[in-house]
Structure 1
Amino acid sequence: MTQTQSDTGILAGEQRMLIDGELRHTDGGALFDVVHPGNEQVVGQVSDGTLTDMDRAVGAARRAFDDTEWSRDLDFRYHCLMQLHAALERNKERLRRIVVTEVGCPVSVTGSQIEDPIDEVRHWAEHGRDFEYLVDTGIHKAPMGTARRTISYEPVGVVGAITPWNVPFYLNIAETIPALMAGNTVVLKPAQLTPWSGSELGRIVAEETDIPAGVFNVVTSNANGVGAALSADPRVDMITFTGSTATGRAILAAAAPTVKRTMMELGGKSAHIVLDDAKLEKCLPMAAMVACVMSGQACIMASRILLPRSRYAEGIEILKASMEATSVGDPWDPSVLQGPQISETQRQKVLGLIKSGVDSGARLVTGGGIPEALPVGYYTQPTLLADVDPDSQIAQEEIFGPVLTVTPYDTDDEAVAIANNSIYGLSGEVTGVDTERAFCIARRLRTGNVTVNGRSHFGITSPFGGTKQSGLGRRNGAEGFKEYLESKTIGHPA
């Protein structure tokens, strides 16, 4: 179950699911393959869960919420999550190898995929321990006499978490740990392409913590219908989801009959407005690196570069040189920044969108195909497209690959209009020497988050989420914790 190939570090992960406190296979014993994107080889298998398994998991979570003290025992929740934090630290290197194996994430950039989420477990344990669950709002006049009103923050109930494949361990933590600390029970459905980041978390919970049976469940499956069943189940009170906008719409439809609470981080097509006073030699190499470092498989990536026409040619040359200098190859090589796409299907989608860009009049500056030196593995060349029509498919559709598009503009107002010309509104970036001007432009962008002059908006203490069709709700910060709580106002005698 845990075979290792010592020459590459490839590691087969946990095959079993965690349902009602038991690590188990599906009844028929069916498994599905896990493929390493760096060499296209099957590196292990995981249990192929069924609708029956999901039904069991949801039933266990429902009972654990309704019939145990989990939702009411804050000190015990803190104890269990601090146990989990310590256990994840012990398993850190195993988890790192699993992430590189199933995602193809370069080992050089796994800090954000391993260390950061482990630290977040401690953060949410401490945040939940210190949170004020009863808030006295004072005395209020009312028809039947003055009343004292208290707000009681209480767990939502059973939370279904459906997570994607691009940063699976991080998002498995981000979508379940604050929910658990808030007093909810959880059913996690990991992505089909990266099941071990979920099954390993289930194994660690079962073997190394006191988290009671049914409080945390993991169902792996290669069938889309199993995740859909979680969204539709009337025993589930909330769905948290990260993934494509198309899938988000389907989940909203499935959740609608029971009016479930939903929290969603969906697609993005973020723009980076580079102002005419910007230091191009500093900001553009970083923009190119960010586009490639996770093979472009990042929802917040600023994939649309907007350059002032007066500095357009200069900017194109800097971006071209930076993308051509990016190291692409074996994710186990510490010198590599860009690994493979997650699958051949994803690579073909990226290549197809690049072709559509060229067909619509964009100029292919560099890249656009498969690296000749990497015939095996799902690799894509870092790609730069210039002269991109802001209304074209390549400028409107999320690519999820190492591709930057560049569009010229003449005025700040035009740049803002181009940036806002999208169904998405997840992130954005503005760069310029005049920081007040850059900040004012950032406020005009219709997005949930903006980086100004490289100062990142993203962090555990700040709310993160999208506007328009990039999502609902916020993760992180005090707002993110409250997403997993219901507020109840109680009027009582003063």
Structure 2
Amino acid sequence: MTLPEGKLYIDGKLRGAAGGKTYDVIGPWTGEVVGQAADASAADVEEAIAAARRAFDQTDWPTNEALRLDLVRKFEAGLKANRDRFVELARVEGGAALAATSGPIVDMPLGYCGQLIALYGKVEWTKDMGQAEVWGRKSDRFVVKEPSGVVGAITPWNVPLYIAVGKVIPALLVGCTVVLKAAPETPLINALLGEVAAEAGFPAGVFNVITSGDPATAGEMLVTDPRVDVISFTGSTAIGKRIMERAAPTLKRLFLELGGKSATIVLDDLEDISPILMGSLVCFHAGQGCAYPTRLLIPRSKYPMAVAILEQVYAGYAQVWGGYDDPANVMGPVISAKQKARVLDYIAIGQQEGARLLAGGKAAEGKGEGFFIEPTCFVDVTNEMRIAREEIFGPVLVVIPYDGDEEAIRIANDSDYGLSGGVYGADRERALGVARRLRTGSVNVNGGMAIMADLPFGGYKQSGIGKEWGLEGFDEYLETKSIGVGVAG
């Protein structure tokens, strides 16, 4: 399949890159070229930044709330009208399995647009702090919120539409202007956002979309440019650290949603753990999710039974995953040859460390020429092993036995990361008590869902800084100002 060529969207215009330069988009299912995307130059990025700065400083976008709401609603309608195109791009360009597109890859972010617009109505722009007297002077006092300015939104390749919606919609609603920089692997989904914005009729410079085959230059320009007030980045912890370093001279605001090595704890009071084990396979979107629970902690008393069940579950799943047109399939290839090599390297490391390979562990045969890896499970893992400590970002689950709640909590918290997690237990209050002690930004208890549009999402420790989604996500794009007005008499 050949996809339409992706264009840049800069200063209100859809156009090619300077000199007409493009780069190849590689399809993960086949390993072949599936399209072309505009390959932005430094001059293109400079034009986008300048346009966003002008739109914020010289137009009424920051103050015209009615205009913003009207255009963001049109943008939402355009995104939903292009749902089938987003699904096609997510599958062909992003490697998504068909059933996976109904979740965070396409349908969830499209549904979350309207929820974000509704949530925007709850932003408290002015808070009356009442009157107070200091040094004999009375003041009426107010705390007001204002848009921060120009936002550089840098998105990853795993769920690009989901991440773009979470950044762009709140930033535009509060009155910021945006330069959206796509990951090199998934430019066409982002280019479609530019097309929809052009159709919605945003004022020139309010929203800009950059695609580039160079993974670093455009992002470096956004991070280091003093005209950019906020960087909102989702990606690896290593790149997040680089952004902090490079942004330091301009002291711009940073939101960083980074890696994870989340743990699911199964408590010993559960009689039947089979359903939990069947749902614990790291397979959705080939395990390419920052919040994916990739460490499974099992009480030692149930460990032999759990290993036996997992062996059966993985053996059954090995027969059914990977079909491109299968409406029930949630697992396809990983994104690239580079990512495939990375995951296979970690699988080799796990074997060298002494973990037992229960299932998978190889490049998948018979699935085609794309970047396929078998669903993989390691057991007899200790939390000191690299496969238990480092983010693999592939279809790899590690299973760790524990003795007692205190040890489970210690193991779960013994991580550089703290993004998500899960707890399952028969006693709701006990499970909640364990969840409260986990040093992580979200916890799903007994199958509950802690990741939704109206809930803040973000990590502890090296999983990041700040929150996306929820009202807290709007705050990332707002400045806070205190005003005191003198009162006579």
Fold-level similarity (TM above 0.5): yes
Q: Comparing 421-430 with 272-281, which one deviates more in the overlay?
A: 272-281
Cα distance in structure 1, aligned partners of 2:241 and 2:289: 20
Q: Does 1:188 align with 2:147?
A: no
What's the offset of the Cα at 1:153? 0.6
Q: Comparing 387-396 with 320-329, which one deviates more in the overlay?
A: 320-329
Match of 1:159 in 2: 151
Amino acid at match of 1:46: A
Cα distance in structure 2, aligned partners of 1:230 and 1:62: 12
What's the offset of the Cα at 1:321? 2.1
What's the offset of the Cα at 1:210? 2.2
Cα distance in structure 2, aligned partners of 1:125 and 1:76: 13
What's the offset of the Cα at 1:484? 0.9
The answer (yes or no) to whether the contact 1:100–1:332 under 8 Å persists in 2 is no
> Equivalent residue of 1:103, what SS?
coil
Match of 1:39 in 2: 30
Structure 2: gaps of 5 or more residues: none
Amino acid at match of 1:318: I
Match of 1:61 in 2: 52
Q: 1:398 to 1:90 in 2, by over 3 A?
A: same
> Equivalent residue of 2:293, what SS?
coil
Q: Please point out which of 72, 76, 85 is paired with 1:94.
A: 85
Pairing 1:243-392 to 2, within 5 Å after superposition? 243-278=235-270, 279-288=272-281, 291-326=282-317, 327-392=320-385
Match of 2:97 in 1: 106
Match of 1:203 in 2: 195
Q: Please point out which of 226, 249, 253 is paired with 1:234.
A: 226
The answer (yes or no) to whether the contact 1:75–1:129 under 8 Å persists in 2 is no
Cα distance in structure 2, aligned partners of 1:196 and 1:161: 16
Structure 1: gaps of 5 or more residues: 6-10
Cα distance in structure 2, aligned partners of 1:322 and 1:258: 52
Q: Does 1:133 align with 2:131?
A: no
What's the offset of the Cα at 1:235? 0.4
Amino acid at match of 1:482: D
What's the offset of the Cα at 1:14? 4.3
Match of 1:8 in 2: none
Instruction: State the number of aligned residues.
Output: 482
> Equivalent residue of 1:212, what SS?
coil
Q: 1:129 to 1:451 in 2, by over 3 A?
A: closer
The answer (yes or no) to whether the contact 2:5–2:35 under 8 Å persists in 1 is no
Q: Please point out which of 10, 20, 24 is paired with 2:15.
A: 24
Cα distance in structure 2, aligned partners of 1:456 and 1:123: 16
Identity %: 45
Q: Does 1:417 align with 2:406?
A: no
Cα distance in structure 2, aligned partners of 1:420 and 1:91: 42
The answer (yes or no) to whether the contact 2:28–2:93 under 8 Å persists in 1 is yes
* TM-score, with structure 2 as normaliser: 0.96
Cα deviation 1:109-157 (Å, max 9, x = unaligned) = 2122222212222222233245331111112222241211111110000
Q: Comparing 141-150 with 247-256, which one deviates more in the overlay?
A: 141-150
> Equivalent residue of 2:335, what SS?
coil
The answer (yes or no) to whether the contact 1:340–1:380 under 8 Å persists in 2 is yes
Q: 1:74 to 1:129 in 2, by over 3 A?
A: farther
The answer (yes or no) to whether the contact 2:351–2:357 under 8 Å persists in 1 is yes
Q: 1:156 to 1:94 in 2, by over 3 A?
A: same
Cα distance in structure 1, aligned partners of 2:476 and 2:44: 27
* TM-score, with structure 1 as normaliser: 0.95
What's the offset of the Cα at 1:203? 1.0
> Equivalent residue of 2:391, what SS?
coil
Cα deviation 1:439-479 (Å, max 9, x = unaligned) = 11111111111111111111111111000000000111111
Cα distance in structure 2, aligned partners of 1:14 and 1:249: 33
Amino acid at match of 1:198: N
Cα deviation 1:279-317 (Å, max 9, x = unaligned) = 3112111111xx101100011111001111111011112
Cα distance in structure 2, aligned partners of 1:69 and 1:14: 33
The answer (yes or no) to whether the contact 1:161–1:187 under 8 Å persists in 2 is yes
Q: Does 1:399 align with 2:392?
A: yes
Match of 2:208 in 1: 217
Q: 1:121 to 1:84 in 2, by over 3 A?
A: same
Q: 1:129 to 1:77 in 2, by over 3 A?
A: farther
Cα distance in structure 1, aligned partners of 2:118 and 2:412: 38
Amino acid at match of 1:374: K
Q: Does 1:78 align with 2:69?
A: yes
